[in-house]
Amino acid sequence: MNARVGVFGGTFDPVHHAHLRMARAFADELALDEVRLIPAGQPYHRQEGPRASAAQRLDMVKLAIAADARLTVDEREIRRHRPAYTVDTLRELRAELGAAAELWFLVGGDSLAALSSWKDWRELFRLANLAVAMRPGFDPAALPPEVRQEWQARQVSDFSNRTASGTIRPLALPPLDLSATRLRAQLAADEPVEGLIDPAVLAYIRRQRLYR
């Protein structure tokens, strides 16, 4: 059987419960051998509020995935000393895994809505399949027309016919209203976040005095 590899990119500032449950549902629902979390390199534009460094975001991802052997971390975007585009990362992975491997890229519904602003976005479908985790408020009818067209054309209901790339699959996982932005605000306000962040990650945040 061909390798089935899932890729999940994000800022992970910090990695949280919604990320982890979607990574696990991604592995389960698509019967993937492995899901690689790929923390983004340091954003180059200035951002509001306290943020973690790339090294700290990487540390937190490593702590969060330690208990699940299917989840791994891929450091390539953090190590790259220029902005990393998803399409470039997928090109590299495709070259490494070979043409026959099933490659899946996971996004949340909000990222799907922004897909056509990504560099060479249509090439994503030549390189990989796309899995989408619903986010509260996601409405396919509200997608930009060029993305909605792909959303309609690329969904396959018969999943016995799996392909190396080119399809779109919405996850069955119910949406969960949680974002890193909200968690950073809750941490800054000293509000409880237990249950929303992995305990080892939360201990790290407290130790490093992050998001204060």
What is the x/- site pattern for ligand ATP, positions 173-192, by CB under 6 A? Answer: ---x-xxxx-----------
Burial degree of 109 (CB within 10 A; 0-12, 13-18, 19+): buried
Residues numbered 146 to 165 that lie near ligand ATP (CB under 6 A) are: none
Residues numbered 100 to 139 that lie near ligand ATP (CB under 6 A) are: 107-108, 110-111, 133, 135
Q: E-assigned strands of the chain? A: 4-10, 34-39, 71-73, 102-108, 129-133, 168-170
Judge contact between 180 and 198, C-beta under 8 A.
no
Name the 3-class secondary structure at 204.
helix
Closest-CB residue for ligand ATP? Answer: 108
Smallest distance, ligand ATP to C-beta of residue 195, A = 14
For the chain, what is the radius of gyration of the CA atoms?
17
12, 104, 204, 211: residue in contact with ligand ATP (rule CB under 6 A):
12
Binding of residue 11 to ligand ATP (CB under 6 A): yes
Binding footprint of ligand ATP, residue count (CB under 6 A): 18
Nearer to ligand ATP, 5 or 180 (CB): 180
Smallest distance, ligand ATP to C-beta of residue 115, A = 10
Nearer to ligand ATP, 11 or 72 (CB): 11
Judge contact between 130 and 168, C-beta under 8 A.
yes
DSSP states of 42-83: PPSS--SS----HHHHHHHHHHHHTT-TTEEE--HHHH-SSP
Q: Count the neighbouring beta carbons within 10 Å of the beta carbon of residue 162.
A: 16
Binding of residue 200 to ligand ATP (CB under 6 A): no
The structure tokens 């450091």 sit at: 75
Binding of residue 168 to ligand ATP (CB under 6 A): no
Binding residues for ligand ATP, per CB under 6 A? 10-13, 18-19, 22, 107-108, 110-111, 133, 135, 176, 178-181
